[in-house]
Amino acid sequence: MARYVFITGGVVSSLGKGLASAALGALLQARGFSVRLRKLDPYLNVDPGTMSPFEHGEVFVTDDGAETDLDLGHYERFTGVAARKTDSVSSGRIYSNVLEKERRGAYLGKTIQVIPHVTNEIKDFLAIGDDEVDFMLCEIGGTVGDIEGLPFFEAIRQFGQDRPRGQVIYMHLTLLPYLAASGELKTKPTQHSVKELRSIGIAPDILVCRSEHPIPEKERAKIALFCNVRLDAVIPAYDLKTIYEAPLAYHRAGLDRAVLDAFQISPAPRPDMARWEDVMDRLQNPEGEVRVAIVGKYVRLEDAYKSIAEALTHGGMANRVKVRAEWIDAEIFEREDAAPHLERFHAILVPGGFGERGTEGKIKAAQFAREKGVPYLGICLGMQMAVIEAARNLAGVSDAGSEEFDNEAGKKRFTPVVYHLKEWVQGNHKVERRLDDDKGGTMRLGAYTAVLTPGSRVAGIYGATEIEERHRHRYEVDVAYRQRLEACGMEFSGMSPDGRLPEIIEYRDHPWFIGVQFHPELKSKPFAPHPLFADFIRAAVEASRLV
């Protein structure tokens, strides 16, 4: 039976619960324990799949097709443990499950209430797979006191009572604000946050205190006294230059030791921090620098492309260079020439997205990269725009476009080189979709196999002719244009096993030009950079030497 650590937050949001959870998972792994991390989000959306990237940041997709919070990306990047559908749940999903059961008569005519029916549903979710790992780390989204989060807090309170003594602990993150006028760190917000948590029956075992300034020992002692927490369980958490310093920083602060002490695990296995020491060595001691342009449509919020930003960093680590990524709004190229904006970069990346806005700018970015020999990586929509660019400028289909844009405009304007995917094979069964289906969860989601052409650039990069990558899209490049495009030099070097769906395109006579329908960034880790990103940055390094 797993030991449970519930991670909550107070005072303000965005304190770094997800990062603290991920770092704790990495530290427990370093001591030889197995871990799994989960996220419980209080919002009423069933999942973040229909949320705007400006509203919620990126949607992280698991192998089994769940659309989840971006914190699950942190969990995977820090632990290497592949997330599953059962590692993410929202209030919307919980209430939906309860109402479905009520409609089926599963509650035998009882009056359905938050307690016990909703809280029981949450506890059932928490217990899934608890015999598979040593530690289950569960992060509760939002802050203590949020009205929508109350059922989750009540559920984890009950869960601690239901489990044998010593199987559950609570870790609470708070903020210690600094008042420049008085030159003091103020502990009162932390005291009130803990008071709020205790008022609903949860007494924290560990406090992680975020601060921009060093926390004096007397302030730690004051927090321990007023919050009824052991002094060595008051853990300082300072701002870091990189998130990948977090495991080492939290280890120095004693977080892993405090957790094991709370569970009375003694003597504790010695930690092996070599993996994270190597990660930091590669980050802190680069042997060069490359500049990469990310031409996207959600550039006002960097979290919208969080996994891409991290995968580029990992690619830099693989090549021992610093990657200086710059975000460029694709719409600029619809008004201005792309060349002056892109000439100073060593590589160009065009990420995914939905809708027509900014797509003509992405097409111009792909054209610039193809014509100027600049390394190019197109992901999802970025691949589709590269194909449309080739169809227009090389294959003579001057009005090439996507059915997505015609559907959005409500009239036919393009020859659809990219079309709405109506059916595909998933495992051993056929999946069918209509254009008027619900938007949530109806895309081609999760891990699918691609077969690579022997001798192609991507086969060499992967060192394999069969791969599995994660998808999130509802439009596909029409394979009917394959012969025409390949006659112009674009090779369809990766296909679905049935040969119907293009997965990868490349130009063999280009220094490095690859488009992929899937999202390779979702599987990249600092200690295991994704091969596509590692080779993309290698190509950028070579391009930098030619300047």
For 222, the token pair is 């004051």
Q: Please give the DSSP secondary-structure letter assigned to residue 325.
A: E
Determine the Cα–Cα distance for residues 467 and 157; give it in Å rounded to an integer: 43
Instruction: Give the angle subtended at the CA of 535 by the CAs of 534 and 541, to the nearest 5°.
Output: 95
Could you tell me which residues come within 8 angstroms of residue 450 by beta carbon, excluding any fewer than 6 positions away? 466, 467, 468, 469, 494, 495, 496, 497, 503, 504, 518
Active site residue 302: no
DSSP-based three-state secondary structure for 154: helix
Q: Residue 418, SS3? A: strand
**Active-site choice (58, 139, 503, 521):** 521
C-alpha distances out from residue 323 to 315, 317, 440, 510, 535, Å: 8, 9, 35, 22, 13
Q: Length of the chain, please?
A: 547
Q: Is residue 519 annotated as a catalytic residue, yes or no?
A: yes
Give kind and range of the element (H or E) at residue 381: helix 381-393
Of 500, 518, 30, the C-alpha closest to 259 is 30
Q: Give the long-range contacts of residues 82-85, CB within 8 A, separation 24 or more.
A: 83/37
Other Cβ atoms less than 10 A from the Cβ of 340: the count is 8
For residues 141 and 41, the answer to whether their CB atoms sit within 8 Å is yes
In angstroms, the CA 480 to CA 357 distance is: 26
Residue 138's SS3 state is: strand
**Is the peptide bond between 116 and the residue preceding it cis, with omega within 30 degrees of 0?**
yes
Are residues 33 and 134 in contact, defined by beta-carbon separation less than 8 angstroms?
Answer: yes
Task: Quote the strand ranges of 433-522, DSSP E.
Answer: 444-452, 466-473, 475-477, 490-495, 502-507, 513-516
Non-local CB neighbours of 455 within 8 Å, separated by 6+ positions: none
Give the orientation angle of helix 119-127 with respect to helix 91-104, to 10 degrees: 110
Residue 105 DSSP class: T
Close Cβ partners of 157 (under 8 Å, ≥ 6 residues apart) = 200, 201, 202
Among 380, 471, 473, 503, which one carries the catalytic annotation?
Answer: 380
Active site residue 521: yes
Q: Where are the alpha helices (DSSP H) in 232-333?
A: 246-253, 255-262, 274-284, 306-319
Q: What are the phi and psi torsion angles at 89 (to 5°)?
A: -150, 150
Q: Which of 251, 471, 519, 530 is catalytic?
A: 519
Q: Which residues are catalytic?
A: 380, 519, 521
